Amino acid sequence: MTSPRSSNGWDIFNWLPKKYQSAHNIDLTKLQNHTAEELLEILVSVHPEISHALYNFLRMGDTMLTFTAKKQSGSDDKNGQRSLDAIKNLLDTPLPSPGYQHGRSLDKLDTIQRIMIMVRGACAGEVVLNERFNNIVPVDPAKIWFRREEGTNRLVPWQYIKNPRPRSGEESFGQYKKIDTPTFIYREFDLMVDEPYGRTPIASLNG
């Protein structure tokens, strides 16, 4: 299962910070100490033009999600559409819980992934196979690194974990966990030749 980026790995003091507040406390004379991904997150919060551009991008792209089942011939598939609609309803249905649940609808997931495309140049997610098979967890693409598999030269994704605690059956390498599974999906944006990570449209702002 995907580890939350905000988890400290020890299950203590897991209070989540408000990033837009902490960004305003950063010493802007020491930005060279931050990675490119961190700088873009900071700029989204402290630079008015970048913040406004991202806001407009998200609002203009906020169109209704539609799913259409098609036969191989290209015609509409009524039976397939009923199954597809049932899957969508299942994904939008809250998980069983006696208390508060953070929103997890497909519309919210769509917004998160569009933010990732703009800020990270890629989007990623993992299907968590729970008892109802209805949970998709967004994954920060900045924490995904690819390695070439020996023999096949196939690209294999690994996820950076701040405080790893390997589980039985998991393959890890230092602070990286192998996430080579069909339930993990990574989609890059405007990638270069032989470059699997994609390119954010606002990458030049780091200059």
- 4 is a domain residue: no
User: Strands (DSSP E) along 73-164, which ranges?
Assistant: 122-128, 135-139, 144-148, 155-160
Is a pLDDT exceeding 80 seen at residue 52? yes
Share of the chain above pLDDT 90, in %: 32
| pLDDT on residue 169 | 77
Number of domains in the chain: 1
For residues 35, 161, 111, 71, the Cα torsion angle rounded to the nearest 10 degrees is: 120
The answer to whether residue 27 is domain-embedded is: yes
Among the listed residues 49, 47, 56, 36, the one whose alpha carbon sits nearest the alpha carbon of residue 204: 36
* Structural domain includes residue 3: no
In a domain, 7, yes or no: no
| pLDDT score recorded for residue 9 | 53
Which residue range forms the structural domain that includes residue 104?
19-206
Predicted local distance difference test score (pLDDT) of residue 207: 56
In a domain, 92, yes or no: yes
Segment 129-168, tens digit of pLDDT:
766 656 788 999 999 999 999 899 899 999 998 877 777 7
Q: Cα(101)–Cα(104) distance, rounded to whole angstroms?
A: 8
The model carries a pTM of 0.77
Classify residue 13: in a domain, yes or no.
no
Q: What is the dihedral of CA 53, 56, 57, 63, to 10 degrees?
A: 180
The tens digit of pLDDT for each residue in 71-104 reads: 999 999 999 999 999 888 888 887 777 888 777 7
* Residue 12 maps to a domain: no
- Number of Cβ within a 10 Å radius of residue 161: 19
